[in-house]
Amino acid sequence: MQTGDAMTEVVGAEPHGGVLANLLVDADRGEELRARATAWPSWRLTARQLCDLELLSGGGFSPLRTFLGRTDYLAVCTSMRLADGTLWPVPVTLDVPAKIPATLGPDGVLALRDRDGALLGVLQVTEVYRPDLRDEAAWVFGTLDPAHPGVDHLLRHTHPVYVTGRLELLRAPVHDDFQQLRHSPRDLRVEFERRGWTSVVAFNTRNPMHRAHQEVTLRALDETGANLLIHPIVGITRPGDIDAATRVRCYQSVLPSYPHGRVMLSLLPLAMRMAGPREALWHAIIRKNYGITHFIVGRDHAGPTDVTGRPFYGLYDAQELVRSHAAELGVGVVAVPQLVYVHDLGKYLPEDEVPAGARTVIVSGTEIRRRLKDGDELPEWFTPAAVGAILRRSVF
């Protein structure tokens, strides 16, 4: 086993959206690993690590085939690229307590298990290194403010040692809910082909869909002529967000409002970092692996606020970053303007098209949560009636 600055190669890197990584072993190899794993030290993966493992397993994180080694990790932090130059803006690492590497035997194998202790895979550890977590926070999040949820997790909840090596998986993490809505990248590509969809625009969200979201997605359909993939994140989102099960029911309730045959709902088991512009670019790369051709980038995409409510990132910084890499990535960017509801006209308009003096309201997921908490009305111009009813029943 190597430690320190040795690099773990990202084997078989390919263009985003090309040949997908597949880390799942065949049945014979799986039986062999199960039999041998009883003699290997184990690590029970955290909720975040389970999300990362699931996306590694099916190619959602292609070209990654394992967690980042030190050289790739530093390249990603400082340049948003792997050491070979491939665009990749957010570190995907496996953090463990310092005592774990000391338990490894001569073969350096670590059994990876879920929260119940079931074996998911094994890591042939080839590298152990200690990251500077404050430097990582400054590079990736652009701040050390603990009010930033990504910084808080990194500095308060991340183990001090990162490990990597050859990863072999017996299976991906299992979900008992909404199984018909959970698709691997290959599943979605096959489904798009079955439907004859050659152009697909993806919509990312971690909130229930409100009227402004619907307006954004309908505008994207018109602008691109593509079909719509509603692809909400149901792994780990920001603390305080509405739970995933409630949100999924909300998404299902709005599907009939879209043109027949042009919309599909699928769930993304991603652990968000809330890294603003970097995260938006990461989301676009991941969706390219799922087979989409266009990606909707919202205002302040994946951007949290500080204790005063001030955003950590500029309103349109994420759009500018993704647009600057769109040609390299091969994804069309649908940049969403600030939409506001104009009471006098009874419709949504981009902020710069609002008549002077008109009464307007900005609709957001934050405002939905505030209205629910305060018991305020959820009018239909703000939230579809079906969504409002689900939220009232499920949240409060």
Lowest mean pLDDT among 101-115, 205-219, 298-312, 365-379: 365-379
Same structural domain for residues 311 and 378? Answer: yes
With b for 16 or more beta-carbon neighbours within 10 A and e for fewer, the 118-127 pattern comes to ebbbbbebbb
Last residue of a domain, one of 140, 169, 198: 169
For the CA atoms of 211, 201, 303, 205, the dihedral, rounded to the nearest 10 degrees, stands at 50
Same structural domain for residues 237 and 344? Answer: yes
Strand ranges (E), 45-203: 94-96, 109-113, 119-129, 161-169, 200-203
pLDDT band at 316 (very low <50, low <70, confident <90, very high): very high
Residue 16, pLDDT > 60, answer: no
Residue 345, pLDDT > 60, answer: yes
Residue 305, pLDDT > 60, answer: yes
Same structural domain for residues 100 and 240? Answer: no
Phi, psi of 350 (to 5 degrees): -60, 145
Per residue in 78-108, pLDDT (tens digit) is: 999 999 999 999 999 999 999 999 999 999 9
Residue 182, strand partner residues: 267
pLDDT at position 3 is 34
Residue 174, pLDDT > 80, answer: yes
Residue 2, pLDDT > 70, answer: no
Last residue of a domain, one of 169, 190, 208: 169
Same structural domain for residues 157 and 252? Answer: no
- Whole-number percent of the chain with pLDDT over 70: 94
pTM for the full predicted model: 0.92
For the chain, what is the domain count?
A: 2
CA distances 216 to 219, 230, 331, 350, 392, Å, are 5, 12, 18, 10, 24
Please identify every residue annotated as catalytic. 205-207
CA angle 200, 291, 81 (to 5 degrees): 120
Last residue of a domain, one of 116, 134, 169: 169
Same structural domain for residues 121 and 205? Answer: no
Domain harbouring 60, CATH code: 3.10.400.10
Question: Exposed, middle or buried: residue 198 (CB in 10 Å: 0-12, 13-18, 19+)?
Answer: exposed
Q: 163 lies in a domain? A: yes
Q: 189 lies in a domain? A: yes
DSSP symbol at 369: H
Same structural domain for residues 203 and 137? Answer: no
Q: 175 lies in a domain? A: no
pLDDT at position 14 is 43
Helices (H) and strands (E) in the chain, counts: 14, 14
CB 100 within 8 A of CB 116: no
Which among 315, 240, 283, 233 is positioned nearest to 51, based on CA atoms? Answer: 233
Same structural domain for residues 132 and 229? Answer: no
Spatial distance between the Cα atoms of 131 and 385, rounded to a whole number of angstroms: 48
Residues in CB range of 33: below 8 A, 6 or more apart: 25, 119, 121, 122, 168, 170
pLDDT at position 4 is 37
Spatial distance between the Cα atoms of 371 and 379, rounded to a whole number of angstroms: 11
Q: 299 lies in a domain? A: yes
Domain harbouring 184, CATH code: 3.40.50.620
Residue 344, pLDDT > 90, answer: no
pLDDT at position 382 is 84
In this prediction, residues 285-310 reach a mean pLDDT of: 95
Residues in CB range of 35: below 8 A, 6 or more apart: none
CB 103 within 8 A of CB 35: no
Q: Which residue has the higher pLDDT, 33 or 210?
A: 33
Q: 174 lies in a domain? A: no
Same structural domain for residues 150 and 10? Answer: yes
Residues in CB range of 390: below 8 A, 6 or more apart: 208, 246, 249, 250, 253
Per residue in 34-70, pLDDT (tens digit) is: 999 999 999 999 999 999 999 999 999 999 999 999 9
DSSP element (H, E) containing 159: none
Same structural domain for residues 78 and 157? Answer: yes
Q: 8 lies in a domain? A: yes
Same structural domain for residues 160 and 217? Answer: no
Q: 201 lies in a domain? A: yes
Per residue in 136-162, pLDDT (tens digit) is: 999 999 999 999 999 999 999 999 999
Strand ranges (E), 130-241: 161-169, 200-203, 227-230
Residue 120, pLDDT > 50, answer: yes
Domain with 234, as residue range(s), is 180-395
Tell me, what amino acid is at 301?
H
Q: 152 lies in a domain? A: yes
Same structural domain for residues 132 and 200? Answer: no
Same structural domain for residues 66 and 198? Answer: no
Pairing of strands 94-96, 161-169: antiparallel
Mean pLDDT over the full length of the chain: 92
